[in-house]
Amino acid sequence: MSARVSASVTVRVPAKVNVQLAVGAARPDGFHDLANVFLAVGLYDEVTVTEADDLRVTCAGPDADQVPLDRTNLAARAAITLAERYGRVPAVHLHIAKDIPVAGGMAGGSADGAGALLACDALWGTGASRAELLDICAELGSDVPFSLVGGAALGTGRGELLTPLEVGGTFHWVFAMADRGLSTPAVFREFDRLAATEGRRIPEPVASPALLTALAKGDPEALAATVSNDLQRAALSLFPALADTLATGRAAGALTALVSGSGPTTAFLARDAATAAGIAEALTGVCRTVRTTTAPAPGATVL
């Protein structure tokens, strides 16, 4: 008698950095319009989905203890949403091998949502179209569609309306992970508070044409000259020590240093792999973990 082998599918999903994050004024619904230039980077979570009796989530990795294992986990929500659409029961074990920092501004939860969606879709053979999967991603969260697509893209609306962008070369990045997370909603609230205190008029968010050209050319100097993150001041206001991390990376030769998304991960663009290695060395000990990688990375991929 042979043991029953449960079918399983593994999907690899990249983290992201926002090379531009332009934030509009708070809308009446509380959301902000964004012009968000996403770049997928070579740090990955892997989501494995296996047939099981019930929906179950497990997670392994350095930040695993911060990941919710109930139905609020974005991977679980993705499985439930897809199952509902196709009249199935989401009886699967979702295992997340987590390498993307949690609450780090690198869309780790979104990556797991996109990964679980693609993995369940493959396991169940739903035949859902790409457009349908993207639609479910947008329902799960603003950053989830980009995790599916990868590469580089301009996100408008809440960030979920994506236009793919051309990238003409490889960019070398160093990421410094902080010893605690920052909540994305808290950073947006701080952005609103700072804007109100200063009585600043917030312009409509638009993508920078010079930045899009720099990406298309694969030119790191030009990209460094055009990156921007409107959430950076709010993240620094909530986490002042990040300023020292940014300064350390700049002093070690980074072409530019910025907070990744809502932070607190900081991102350093390097001219080449050797400079990236030097920046990583300088940052070691200044923050919790340092990672060196390249971009663009492909989107969610079935392994």
The tokens 């349908």 sit on which residue? 132
3-state secondary structure of 262: coil
Active site residue 143: yes
Other C-beta atoms closer than 10 Å to the C-beta of 274 total 11
User: Quick one: which of 34, 67, 118, 259 contacts ligand ATP (CB under 6 A)?
Assistant: 67
Q: Is there binding between residue 104 and ligand ATP (CB under 6 A)? A: yes
Q: Is there binding between residue 107 and ligand ATP (CB under 6 A)? A: yes
DSSP letter, residue 65: G
Structure token digits, residue 266 = 């900081």
3-state SS string for 196-210: HHHCCCCCCCCCCHH
Residue 243 CB-half CA count within 13 A: 7
Q: Is there binding between residue 259 and ligand ATP (CB under 6 A)? A: no
Q: Is there binding between residue 276 and ligand ATP (CB under 6 A)? A: no
Active site residue 98: no
CA–CA dist 261, 268 (Å, integer): 13
User: Quick one: which of 121, 143, 190, 230 contacts ligand ATP (CB under 6 A)?
Assistant: 143
Binding mask 155-194 for ligand ATP (x = CB under 6 A): -----------------------------x----------
Which among 33, 112, 143, 230 is annotated as catalytic?
143
Please, what sign has the CA dihedral across residues 14, 18, 22, 27? Answer: positive
CA–CA dist 262, 30 (Å, integer): 16
Which among 16, 45, 98, 99 is annotated as catalytic?
16
* Site stretch for ligand ATP (CB under 6 A), options 36-44, 82-90, 104-112, 166-174: 104-112
Q: Is there binding between residue 106 and ligand ATP (CB under 6 A)? A: yes
Q: Given the rule CB under 6 A, which residues bind ligand ATP?
A: 67-68, 72-75, 96, 102-110, 112, 143, 184, 261-262
Residues classed as catalytic: 16, 143
